[in-house]
Amino acid sequence: MHSFRRIVGALIIVFVGLPLLFAITWAVGLTRAAMSPKLISGVPEKIIGALPGIIDEVVREGQNPDVIRDPEARAWLLALSKSGTSVNDLLAKTGVTAWMQGELKIALGEMGEVLKGTRQARRISIDLRPLKKALLDPGFGDFAVGILANLPPCDDASSARWLEAAREGFHNTHLPACRPADMAVATAAVRAEQARITDRMNDEVQIFEGIREIPFGFAHMMTFFIYGLFIIPAFFILGGALVAAGSPAEFLRWSGIPTLVGGASVLVLALFIRTSAVFALQWTPLRRAHEWGTDFGPLVLDKTRWAVRILLEQLMNPVVAAAGIVCVVGLILIAFSFSARGARKALPAAPPAAPQAR
């Protein structure tokens, strides 16, 4: 009978309790990561601050034939470098950098404060009108036209492609790396594309719209709720242990070992993903130009790998922390099992045999 109970308890734990514990540990960690102010505001602020420098590095290093083997891509970068204005300077002069470091940075900071609970939840607006005004600055159009002027002249086929792109728009069009024969038409097309891009943008983006008040902060409230989900796997693991165990010590051991195994499996997987994902970006197939379409992909990947690493750390660290807590709980239960007192449940004694009649 006791062996049958062990089998039933083990089936409950292995096929119900452990999968639920594994899934909910991941859910807790990823929810904490998604609600983290660092992920919402800290990481974007770092990327925004480094973006202009990354663009200049890509332009500078992309002119090396050993880095960019595609002649058309290299011709675009060479023409861009001959324009006399760096992308960093262009963004600063037109006001894009000021908008990113001002309006956008402030809005992201307010989002982080709402998530931490240090600021009352209210509608946060990101005003895109200054960005649209900056993108409509004639400096952007002049910059693009200057790049075209630095390209080698087009042949008849490439000129026809430019005229087609000028009529239909530049979106979803592969522009040849050459100077159009009719620069007036190309200039008008650049101005029209500049206006089309800004027309498609909204004037503002609303965040936390309709949320009146969140007690203790949105992140704290969500964390409290998601940690409560641990009750579900705990119910099945403790229930299976109660069925299988024959003493308090066995109950603690049957509860602690599955808890430790479930937490350790999540911990190992999260650490593996966090460590291996960055190395996977250097994997040769991911860096082949024919899989990206151009050589720009691997070059940009090299310059933004640090951002990918920070993003992965922000996503995986809460998972690692949640799995670590589960492992500690399992170890505590196992440790208590060695000090628990209580004998195995005694089986009812058999009645004494009746004396035989002589």
What is the average pLDDT score of the chain? Answer: 82
* Backbone CA torsion sign across 179, 184, 185, 191: positive
* 2-6, 156-160, 352-356: range with lowest mean pLDDT: 352-356
Predicted pLDDT of residue 160? 85
Alpha carbons within 13 angstroms on the beta-carbon side of residue 334 total: 12
Predicted pLDDT of residue 346? 44
* DSSP E strand stretches across 58-152: 124-127
Higher-confidence residue: 108 or 256? 256
Residue 9, amino acid = G
pLDDT in tens, 233-281: 999 999 999 999 988 999 999 999 999 999 999 999 999 998 887 677 6
Categorize the per-residue pLDDT at 121 as very low, low, confident or very high, splitting at 50, 70 and 90: low
Alpha carbons within 13 angstroms on the beta-carbon side of residue 99 total: 16
Predicted pLDDT of residue 356? 54
Categorize the per-residue pLDDT at 351 as very low, low, confident or very high, splitting at 50, 70 and 90: low
Predicted pLDDT of residue 343? 44
Residue 287 has pLDDT above 60, yes or no: no
Nearest-angstrom CA–CA distance, 348 and 56: 83
* 81-95, 250-264, 342-356: range with lowest mean pLDDT: 342-356
Q: Locate 258 and state its tokens.
A: 């599955």
Contact between 120 and 213 under an 8 Å Cβ cutoff? The reply is yes
pLDDT in tens, 170-219: 776 778 889 988 888 888 888 888 888 889 899 988 876 655 555 555 65
Q: Locate 326 and state its tokens.
A: 């589960």
State the CB neighbour count (10 A cutoff) for residue 203: 10
Closest CA to 238 of 14, 2, 13: 13
Q: What is the DSSP string of 245-291?
A: -SSHHHHHHHHHHHHHHHHHHHHHHHHHHHHHHHHHTT-GGGG-HHH
User: What pTM did the predictor assign?
Assistant: 0.71
pLDDT in tens, 27-56: 999 988 887 777 777 788 788 778 878 888
Categorize the per-residue pLDDT at 347 as very low, low, confident or very high, splitting at 50, 70 and 90: very low
Q: What is the DSSP string of 296-318?
A: HHHHHHHHHHHHHHHHHHHHHHH
pLDDT in tens, 321-336: 999 999 999 999 999 9
Contact between 328 and 90 under an 8 Å Cβ cutoff? The reply is no
Nearest-angstrom CA–CA distance, 149 and 82: 10
Alpha carbons within 13 angstroms on the beta-carbon side of residue 342 total: 13
Q: Indicate the SS3 state at residue 133.
A: helix
